[in-house]
Amino acid sequence: MTTRDFKHIVVAGGCFWGVEEYYHRLKGIIDTQVGYANGNGDSVTYREVCSGTTGHVEAVMLTYNQTVISLDKILEHLFRMIDPTTRNRQANDIGTQYRTGIYYTNDQDNDTINQYIDSIKANYKDTIVTEVLPLENFVVAEPEHQMYLEGNPGGYCHIDFSVIQPNELKEEYLR
């Protein structure tokens, strides 16, 4: 394994606490970092993002080993946990900061993302409204939001972790 095997993608699927915890459990995910993506400005706080006035989305930057988990598999997991046909809402999370999205840093990923979405459209009665855009900016969230559910296991989470298959989990989550 070399660092050239590592890639980055940013995903959004409602409150970033659960999205981060979900991906953190998967084999091949090297690092997760919650933050605010594709909004107005490169300096913003949680409170400002929650006001709905900044244009940012709560998102998770994933660093992954592409020899262990592919971008297609990361996308499959995102679409397991979200409702991609609902705009600006996931479960009880309502507002533009909770929209679903995939934010890429290279055109090859854009092609992969669009091909994946085209391949699953028939699975949905309604139109998929998940954003697919280049990553314009990513502001790392405050320290208390990083790995929030690890430190607050009873904290709010809208994600159903049971959709992860045992063979997809890191060893420490099989216990």
Domains and CATH numbers, the chain: 3-165 (3.30.1060.10)
Per-residue pLDDT tens listing for the chain (175 residues): 667 899 999 999 999 999 999 999 999 999 999 999 999 989 999 999 999 999 999 999 999 999 999 999 999 999 999 999 999 999 999 999 999 999 999 999 999 999 999 999 999 999 999 999 999 999 999 999 999 999 999 899 999 999 999 999 999 998 7
* Pairing between β-strand 138-140 and β-strand 131-134 as defined by DSSP bridges: unpaired
Q: Which residues pair with 133 in a beta bridge?
A: 103
The neighbour count for residue 127, using CB atoms within 10 Å, is: 9
Q: Does the model's pTM come out above 0.85?
A: yes
Catalytic residue list: 15
